[in-house]
Amino acid sequence: MLGLTDFIQNLVAGVSVGLTYGLMGLGVVFLWQSINRINFANISSAMLSVYLFFLFHTWLGLSMLLSAVLAIVLVAVYGLGLRYLLYEPITKRGGARLEFVVATLMLTVFWLTLIIAMFGGMPRRFPPLFGDATQFVRFFGVGVRAIYFYMIVVVAVLMTLLHVILRKTLMGKMLRATAQSKETAQLMGINVNLTANLAFVMSTTVVGVAGLLLGPIYFVSPVLGGGAIGIKGFAAAVMGGLVDPYGAILGGVVLGALENFSTLFISSAYRDVISFAVIAVVLVWKPTGIFNWTSKKE
Amino acid sequence: MRKRLKLVMILVFLGAVLYYPLMEENEYRLFVMNRGLIHAILASGLVFLTGFAGQISLGQAGFYAIGAYTSAILSTSYGVPIPLSIIVGVIFSVVAGLVVSVPSFNLKAFFLSLVTIAFGLIVHRLIVNLQPLTGGTNGFFGIPPMRWAGSMFTSNMHYYLFLGILAATVVSMYHIKRSYLGRAMFAINDDETAAESCGISARKAKVFAFAFSGALAGLAGALYAHFAGFLTPEPFVFFESSRFVGMAVVGGLRHLWGGVIGGIGLTLLPETLRLPYAGWENYYLLLASTITILFVVFLPRGLGDLASKALDRLWKVEGATKTLKDATVVDDSEAGADDASLT
Amino acid sequence: MQVLLETKGLTKQFGGIIANKNINLTVNKGTTTGLIGPNGSGKTTLINQVSGELPATSGRTFFKGEDITGYSANKIARSGIGRTFQRIRLFHRLTVVENVLVARRHFFSANVLDIVLNTRRNRREEREQLEHAMTLLQRLGIESEAGKLPTALPYGKRRALEIARALALEPELLLLDEPAAGMAKEEYADIVRIMERLKEQGITMLLVEHTMEFIRRVVDWVYVLNFGEVISQGVFGDVEQDENVIKAYLGGDETL
Ligand SMILES: Nc1ncnc2c1ncn2[C@@H]1O[C@H](COP(=O)(O)OP(=O)(O)OP(=O)(O)O)[C@@H](O)[C@H]1O
Ligand SMILES: [Mg+2]
């Protein structure tokens, strides 16, 4: 029988890992809202940020915090590269969505092979950015592993920031207007070009942060750039109907919790299958998403 | 004059294709070429599904795996004769294709791609976890090879078998393309509502497209199982699915030959880049994926489009007018780049 | 006279908008029935409900006495209702004659094996249907365009092609949504000629049109819709005088 403490610990673990899935989902949502495309190399940003962090800290000897910041900044810039080196050239040559799909799929393979060529396929130790992996923090009277605690804190801070940006600033208004209709936004005098840049940058950045948060669990390994994790971001985004950022976060949380409890009650072998099943069921049953408050308002 | 040129070129091409294995001394190169033919069969199915009918599948490795493991398990563990086990493998893949086609009834192609990814991953996970049946990550060994008159298939025999099946695939697709079935595929791809108003059931058309492409992927998988002699879950991961789509796109989605060109081309490409430089071993795959991306970005209509335009120019007879017979030939090259269902 | 199409209390609701409200409409065999009304009055919605593109919120549709409510669009098409669209919808990757052949789908009996092996049966059927399609193109005066892609056709000929495609079903009822809209003068004359020819051949039609001159010339009986409801019906000469109708049109920015 599952004790209350065990239950809470599992819940915390599931929810906090789920929050990082939610961040990956956000990466999907931002891009979908602004350019109506899915970047299948979404997850690569997570792997890139982890390896950049590793490179800066372990190889170049920079401090951990500086390495992390630099890694995130580079991943943000990579978002712009994605736009100007991939999306725009394809669009200009009359490539449609399918071409973007294939190009980004190949991009995933590209990053994976690059990382494996440079660092080898074996996982490496993740520098203790969030303290020791075995460390516990007391949280409402329950001992919680420090990494989970950090996940919750970082995502909470990031979400608050995003909420303020999206709801309270001019930039957020521009983003939301562009998401609803490009033409109208243009008529309103919104700089569509700038908002697209923002969307690309935000999309890779949040996934980069998710990567760093997952580092203590997955280590510095190419697994972080693979399909099995990548699909979780899509599952989270799909629950939010691909358009609702809060829905994506909530979707990630639900997914994380489901995964954790399924490991407990069923078998860890099929843990990943849950996210696939969620995608299939949600898309077939309710393609507009189950946590979608954005499109209903329109 | 031009007509004769065309005939000569076709004969030379045929001769080269048929003569190739006889003069190939490098057994490994022939092995790679055989894999290329298998991939060409599978990629042709994707050309049919995506280029003709407008449906996306990023889970094609799932059908490939179902065909491969079904035939392997039946022939190895249950002693079913190989031709029969291959047929059963194909049937299982078709059934899976029918199941996967169900979400396509209501979903836009784009959302569908996510469902098909999920399908591919589920199949992969099942292979890994159903260890007693599939050998899991340890692999499945001792699959009986195909035999002819009591002796095992040689590389050359494999080559001719795969070539024959590929040829039959292309010919079938050619006939389907020019039949009411092909027109129905193109119609639902262009405009589902208009197609329905013409009495075309979009559902049936999609089911057919998924079943057909599933059959080809399953067939490719079953052939691969007996050709390789062992199976591991490796070739059936998600990235193989995306590589398959890459093959179809690089070859040309709207071209009958797209799957052949892309399937063989992208299989040979990494191998030709496998140059004997120290330290290079890790980088040729990187270069191969870069080249694929460049192709998609700079040649979105694929090599097939390029090739057919070049050939057209070569043997276009001046002043020839289109006859009634020509009128029924689909001229893809002029069609818009945007598929209605993909945008 | 024989009733071909009948709707009973057909209603369609989009969220808060009632696009069709309790519509009872009868189309007799061999006649041409008109559907007029101001913009947004629900004409296209009615056509779409009859053709099965939109499911009805409530009410029933009968065709040849059979209740076809809830049938899929393709089944309704096969049961003998052909249609064109307000905004022309053609298959732009297929040639003109192939566009027509798409609608001949159900006159083929060859199976998949026949097709893959290209048996004599398949070749014969393809030949026969191609001839049939060419005859249809000829009837609409566009046989010389057979090998072109629809995008290469001028607007008027695209509309003619769309009608040819609908006729390829050999329908007993033809639904035409604004067949003459957006036509240049000669194109308009061509379409009127086509309509009159179809009438002579005894094809039953239900058509939406804004051009009153067109209605006057080709229609036997007309229904007037306003805000989703039938506000008047009769021969055009009478309907034209109906005060409700005049008021409805004056309310909008169109005049009779
Ligand atoms: N798919 C839909 N979803 C929501 N509302 C719709 C839809 N289709 C039509 N409507 C609404 O239903 C009403 C009737 O539209 P409909 O297109 O049938 O009018 P119409 O008589 O054909 O107009 P027009 O002369 O402009 O073609 C309009 O108010 C329209 O906005
Ligand atoms: Mg209308």
Residues of B in contact with A110 (CB under 8 A): 286, 289-290, 293
**Structure confidence at residue A297 (pLDDT):** 40
**Two structure tokens written together for C256:** 């009779």
Tally of CA atoms within 13 A in the half-sphere of C52 that contains its CB: 28
Answer with the residue of higher pLDDT: B335 or B235: B235
Element (H, E) at B109: helix B109-129
B240-268: average pLDDT: 91
Reading phi first (left if > 0) and then psi (alpha if -120 to 50, else beta), residue A50 is in alpha
Q: Which residues pair with A253 in a beta bridge?
A: none
Residues B330, B320: Cα–Cα separation, whole Å: 17
Cα B65 to the center of its chain, rounded Å:
14
What's the rounded Cα separation, in Å, for the pair B180 and B186? 10
Task: Report pLDDT digits (tens) over A187-246.
Answer: 777 788 888 899 999 999 999 999 999 998 899 999 898 878 888 899 899 888 888 889
Please tell me the predicted confidence (pLDDT) of residue B147. Answer: 87
- Which three-class secondary structure state does DSSP give residue C9? strand
Terminal-to-terminal C-alpha distance of chain C: 30
Q: Which amino acid is at C78?
A: R
| Alpha helices in chain C, H assignment, sequence order | 43-51, 73-78, 96-102, 112-117, 120-139, 155-167, 185-200, 212-218, 236-241, 243-251
Q: Do B122 and A227 make contact, defined as CB atoms within 8 angstroms?
A: no
Quote the mean pLDDT of chain B.
86
- In this structure, of A291-295, B93-97, C150-154, the range with the lowest mean pLDDT score is A291-295
Tell me the two tokens of residue B95. 């059934």
| pLDDT at B257 > cutoff 70 | yes
Q: How far apart are CA C212 and CA B306, in angstroms?
A: 52
Spatial separation of the C-alpha atoms in residues B63 and B95, rounded to whole Å: 10
B41-69 pLDDT per residue, tens: 999 999 999 999 989 899 999 999 999 99
CA distance B341 to chain A (A): 10
Do C41 and C225 meet the contact criterion of CB atoms below 8 Å apart?
Answer: yes
Domain with residue C191: its CATH number is 3.40.50.300
- B-C contacts at Cβ under 8 angstroms: 127
| Sequence ranges of the domains in chain B | 29-300, 309-343
Test C105 with B198 for CB contact under 8 angstroms: yes
DSSP string, B310-327: HHHHHTPPTTPPP-HHHH
Q: Ligand 1, closest atom to CA C45?
A: 18
Does some domain include residue C149? no
Q: What's the pTM value of the predicted model, to 2 decimals?
A: 0.87
Q: How far apart are alpha carbons C164 and C158 in whole angstroms?
A: 10
Q: Contact partners of C by the rule of 3+ C-beta pairs under 8 A?
A: B
Asked if C176 and C83 touch (Cβ cutoff 8 Å), the reply is yes
For B35-39, what is the mean pLDDT? 96
| Strands lying side by side in the sheet with C3-14 | C17-28, C3-14, C58-63, C66-67
Distance from Cα C160 to the centre of ligand 2, integer Å: 19
Res B330 pLDDT > 80: no
Is the C-alpha dihedral spanning A168, A171, A177, A179 positive or negative?
Answer: negative
pLDDT tens readout for residues B332-342? 433 333 333 33
Are A283 and B111 inside 8 Å of each other by CB? yes
**Environment class of B59 (CB within 10 Å of its CB; exposed 0-12, middle 13-18, buried 19+):** buried
CB-based contact, B342 to chain C, within 8 Å: no
C-alpha R_g of chain A: 19
Cα–Cα distances (Å) from A21 to A161, B295, C247, in that order, read 18, 32, 60
Q: Which of these, A227, A293, A257, A249, lies nearest to A26 by C-alpha position?
A: A249
pLDDT at res. A290: 82
Domain with C89, as residue range(s), is 3-93+156-250
pLDDT at A241: 85
- Interface contact flag, B292 A89, Cβ < 8 Å: no
Among protein residues, the one with the nearest Cα to ligand 1's atom 29 is C40
Residue A10 has pLDDT above 80, yes or no: yes
Domains of chain C: total: 1
Q: Answer whether A208's CB lies under 8 Å from A225's CB.
A: no
Q: At what angle do helices A227-239 and B238-251 cross, to 10 degrees?
A: 80
**Chain-chain contact of C98 with B202 (C-beta, under 8 angstroms):** no
A118-133 pLDDT, tens digit per residue, is 888 899 999 888 877 6
Report CA torsion sign: B42, A280, A289, A223.
negative
Q: d(Cα A96, Cα B72) in Å, to the nearest integer?
A: 39
pLDDT digits 0-9 by tens, B112-145: 888 898 899 889 989 998 989 999 889 999 999 9
Residue B319 predicted with pLDDT over 60: no
Within A120-191, where are the H helices?
Answer: 146-168, 170-180, 182-187
Closest residue to A117, CB basis, from B237, B242, B282: B282
Which of A114-123, A285-294, B217-226, B304-313 has maximum average pLDDT?
B217-226
Tell which residue, B235, B208, B211, has the closest CA to residue B39.
B235
Rounded to an integer, what distance in angstroms lies between the CA atom of residue B286 and that of residue B280?
Answer: 10
In the predicted model, what is the mean pLDDT of chain A?
86
pLDDT at B276: 73
Rounded distance, CA A294 to CA A234, Å?
A: 18
CA distance C182 to chain B (A): 20
B166, B40 contact by CB (below 8 A): yes
Contact A96 B249 (CB under 8 A): no
Longest C-alpha distance within chain B, in Å? Answer: 67
Q: What is the CA radius of gyration of chain B?
A: 20
Q: Is the CB of C55 under 6 A from ligand 1?
A: no
C18 contact partners, CB below 8 Å, separation of at least 6: C11, C12, C227, C228
Name residue, tokens 């945007």: B338
H/E run at residue A139:
strand A136-139
Domain B29-300 CATH class label: mainly alpha
Rounded to 5°, the CA angle C251-C255-C256 comes to 125
B/e letters for A135-160, b = 16+ CB within 10 Å, e = fewer, are eeeeeeeeebbbbbbbbbebbeebbe
Q: Give the angle subtended at the CA of B243 by the CAs of B101 and A105, to the nearest 5°.
A: 85
Judge if the beta carbon of residue C44 lies within 6 A of ligand 1. Answer: yes
State the complex-level ipTM.
Answer: 0.92
Using CA atoms, how far apart are residues B225 and B86, in angstroms rounded to an integer?
9
pLDDT at position B320, please? 44
Q: What is the mean pLDDT of each run of 10 residues along chain C (256 residues)?
A: 92 92 95 93 96 95 95 96 96 95 95 93 95 95 94 94 96 94 88 91 93 89 93 88 80 53
Question: Ligand 2 centre and the CA of C254: distance in Å?
Answer: 15
Closest residue to atom 23 of ligand 1, CA basis: C40
- Return all residues near A35 (Cβ < 8 A) that are at least 6 apart: A87, A196, A199
Task: Give the CA distances from residue A193 to residues A74, A80, A175, C239, in Å, rounded to whole numbers and listed in that order.
Answer: 21, 12, 11, 55
C39 lies in a domain? Answer: yes
Return the ligand 1 atom nearest residue C41 CA: 21
Question: Residue B274, class by beta-carbon neighbours within 10 Å (0-12 exposed, 13-18 middle, 19+ buried)?
Answer: middle
Question: Are A and B neighbours with ≥3 CB pairs closer than 8 A?
Answer: yes
Q: Tell me: pLDDT of B217 over 50.
A: yes
Contact B338/C at CB under 8 A: no
Distance CA B280, CA C97 (A): 55
What span, in angstroms and rounded, lies between the C-alpha atoms of A274 and A236?
12
Asked whether the beta carbons of A89 and B297 are under 8 A apart, the reply is yes
The token pair that represents A164 in the structure block: 């303020």
Q: Does B336 touch chain C (CB under 8 A)?
A: yes
Residue C40 Cβ < 6 Å to ligand 1? yes
B187 close to C (CB below 8 A): yes
Query: With a 6 A CB cut-off, is C38 part of the ligand 1 pocket?
Result: no
The total of other beta-carbon atoms located within 10 Å of residue B273's CB is 15
Q: What pLDDT sits at residue A175? A: 78
Q: Which of C12, C43, C176 to mutate to test ligand 1, by most ligand atoms within 8 A of the CB atom?
A: C43
**Ligand whose nearest atom lies closest to the CA of C45:** 1
